[in-house]
Amino acid sequence: MNLTLRQLRAFAAVAESGSFTAAAQQLHLTQSALSVLVRELEREMGVQLLHRNTRSVQLSEAGREFLPSVHRLLGDLTSAVAGVTDLRDKKKGLLRLAAPQLMACTLMPRVIALYREKYPDVDVRLSDTLPEHLLDGVAAGDVELAVGQDVAVDGAIERRTLFRDRHWLICPPGHAFAKRRKVRWHELEPYTFIAPTRDFRQRVLPELAPAERDYMLRPGTQEVSYMTTALGMVASGLGLTVCPTYSAPLVRAHGLQMVRLESPDFHREVCVYSAARRSLSPAAASFVGILESFARAQQKG
């Protein structure tokens, strides 16, 4: 059986109006074209749906039985098309994101707030993770986008650079360094250092000179998994740490000071990651656009 939407709409219009003339006007068809559609439908179904005479059109018993199903089918189709259109226009949908814990509590909430102002009906869900597990959700298909500092990717993951961010020294406001405009890495040697996350050991330390690297790796160095732990320890006078620019809201919340670190002037790229073999959903594509606009504004600021 090969029924078409045009046939079903033609039958429903005639049944509701009780007139081929009125139904033809409603569907912007000629009466002859409308009659052909209804006859084709009846032929496909092998049953007469309408009783016709010169004055009126009435539903047959089969037509009365069939009409509610046609209404449901056409209604479901209209809802389905509207739903897909809403997804296309970002009026609704579900967007799953991942970010390292530090970025998830500093940069990402601000970007999500901007996104929700523009697309309030898109459900955005953010998963915080350790830096070394940033891409796991993308690879598994659990999240559509991951945002974080640059990590190595294979052919299954696509990486797009958003901006370059520097690392800053974090110290209590009463510390001698707090009054300085900049500090060199080697000047940290007399102080206990708190290394935030294993990612720091893998990505930051290799950029330092051997003497500075040895200092960072000495037995007294504290290594923690989360930046919030490092900041809490610094706030309690237990040592110094470093963190990227985007962590400034969290640093201020702990009442700490950010001082520029130089020699080397160390930067990391912040990137957005997605599955290379899957097209971004409209919601994800628009989120990346807002994320890039936010990043440009931050760089100018």
CATH number of the domain that 59 lies in?
1.10.10.10
Q: Are residues 250 and 289 in the same domain?
A: no
Q: State phi, psi for 98 to the nearest 5 degrees.
A: -135, 145
Q: Are residues 224 and 234 in the same domain?
A: yes
Distance CA 86, CA 114 (A): 19
User: Which residue, of 66, 88, 110, is where some domain finishes?
Assistant: 88
pLDDT of residue 151: 84
Mean of per-residue pLDDT scores for the chain: 85
Maximum average pLDDT range among 38-42, 133-137, 254-258, 262-266: 254-258
Provide the domain count of the chain: 3
Q: Are residues 286 and 157 in the same domain?
A: yes
* Residues 263-287: tens digit of each pLDDT: 777 788 899 999 988 888 888 988 9
Structure tokens at 299: 């760089």
Which amino acid appears at position 196 of this protein? P
Distance CA 202, CA 242 (A): 15
pLDDT band of residue 213 (cuts 50, 70, 90) is low
User: Which residue, of 31, 66, 88, is where some domain finishes?
Assistant: 88
Burial environment of residue 106 by CB neighbours within 10 A (0 to 12, 13 to 18, 19 or more): buried
Q: Are residues 44 and 189 in the same domain?
A: no
pLDDT band of residue 224 (cuts 50, 70, 90) is confident
Q: Are residues 11 and 80 in the same domain?
A: yes
46: left (phi over 0), alpha (psi -120 to 50) or beta: left
* Residues 233-248: tens digit of each pLDDT: 999 999 999 888 889 9
- 3-state DSSP call for residue 168? strand
* Residues 284-301: tens digit of each pLDDT: 988 999 999 988 887 665
Q: Are residues 82 and 126 in the same domain?
A: no
Q: What is the arithmetic mean of pLDDT over 183-198?
A: 84
Q: Are residues 157 and 277 in the same domain?
A: yes
pLDDT band of residue 155 (cuts 50, 70, 90) is confident
Distance CA 102, CA 64 (A): 63
Q: Are residues 169 and 260 in the same domain?
A: yes
List the domain range (segments joined by +) for residue 157.
Answer: 97-163+271-300
pLDDT surpassing 70 at residue 202: no
Distance CA 43, CA 169 (A): 81
Contact 199, 207 (CB under 8 A): no
Residue keyed to tokens 């309408």: 50
Q: Are residues 157 and 10 in the same domain?
A: no
pLDDT of residue 83: 62
Q: Give the CATH number, domain containing residue 186.
A: 3.40.190.10
Q: Are residues 111 and 173 in the same domain?
A: no
Q: What is the arithmetic mean of pLDDT over 150-163?
A: 89
pLDDT band of residue 146 (cuts 50, 70, 90) is very high
Q: Are residues 28 and 81 in the same domain?
A: yes
Q: Are residues 149 and 207 in the same domain?
A: no
